[in-house]
Amino acid sequence: MKISLIQFPIVPGDRLANFDQVRRRVQQAARAGSDMAVLPELWDLSFYPPDVYDLADEEGRQAQAFLQDLAASCHIQLIGGSIVRRHDGCLYNTTYIVDEEGNRVSSYDKCHLFTPGGEEKVFAPGDHLNTFFLGDIPMASITCYDLRFGEWVRMAALAGAQILFVPAAWPHPRLAHWQILNRARAIENQFFVVAVNSCGTCGDYRFCGHSMIIDPWGEVLAQGGDGEEIVTGEIDLSVIKDIRSRINVFRDRRPELYHLEGKR
Ligand SMILES: NC(=O)CCC(=O)C(=O)O
């Protein structure tokens, strides 16, 4: 399975410019034979311009139509990073998953909002995990800051995901956290992690790139640099079985111990 990670400098507040950028790069990935393309967090407007409320995509209609057309015309699966969706007067940081025929397979609203950046003052949180199948492969996606919540990611693994997608807008100076947390999540859950970050800037944020594909042993199969790039790698899902039979954490875990009596 060949996967392309579309790492690009999102133009803050300019949906049409970003649609153009994504279209060109996804077409390029499809021509190079990729089965899937993965976009970063808030690829339509960036993370996030001051007038984000007015610019938001009502019910995500524009993004869904764009992604569905692009997937079908390129015959490529799309993990549609996330976009700014307005619903009932509230904003959500929403991911759409689209198959190679252009069908919407699932959607996800970011559940852990980045309070150090005030995201919770602008967006409303989601309340469900995003697990889905593309072909017959079980997968899951989270968004950026969700990565810091190991218990959330563990739920995706327990639900059977073999690949976790992490669209992000992760800035400097926390590149080391990005790299270590993505590798840790892959090792502890013994699944593939496909993490796509943006580059460029929005306000004070300087996004650190380094999109990565990590195998269930924690090896980095492909990694980008700081700038604009399509990072492509191939994954072989059969290694999961082998690694889980060597160190079987799913058999050996002790969920009956994992609660604090009367404490959180
Ligand atoms: N977009 C985000 O959620 C940023 C997360 C981040 O920078 C961090 O966890 O550190």
**Ligand 1 first shell, C-beta below 6 A:** 41, 47, 114, 144-145, 148, 169-171, 174, 177
Q: Counting runs of H as helices and runs of E as strands, what totals does the chain give?
A: 8, 16
Contacts of residue 23, defined as CB under 8 A and 6 or more positions apart, other chains included, come to 66, 70
User: In angstroms, rounded to a whole number, what is the distance separating the alpha carbons of residues 260 and 136?
Assistant: 37
ipTM of the complex model? 0.99
The active-site residue out of 111, 144, 199, 202 is: 144
Contacts of residue 83, defined as CB under 8 A and 6 or more positions apart, other chains included, come to 42, 43, 44, 45, 57, 60, 63, 94, 95, 96
Where along the chain do its domains lie?
2-257
Task: Give this prediction's pTM.
Answer: 0.98
Q: Is 208 among the catalytic positions?
A: no
Per-residue pLDDT of the chain (264 residues; tens, 9 = 90+): 999 999 999 999 999 999 999 999 999 999 999 999 999 999 999 999 999 999 999 999 999 999 999 999 999 999 999 999 999 999 999 999 999 999 999 999 999 999 999 999 999 999 999 999 999 999 999 999 999 999 999 999 999 999 999 999 999 999 999 999 999 999 999 999 999 999 999 999 999 999 999 999 999 999 999 999 999 999 999 999 999 999 999 999 999 999 988 766
CATH topology of domain 2-257: Nitrilase/N-carbamoyl-D-aminoacid amidohydrolase (3.60.110)
Cβ contact 42:48 at 8 Å: yes
Q: Distance from the CA of 170 to the center of ligand 1, in angstroms?
A: 5
Q: Is 228 among the catalytic positions?
A: no
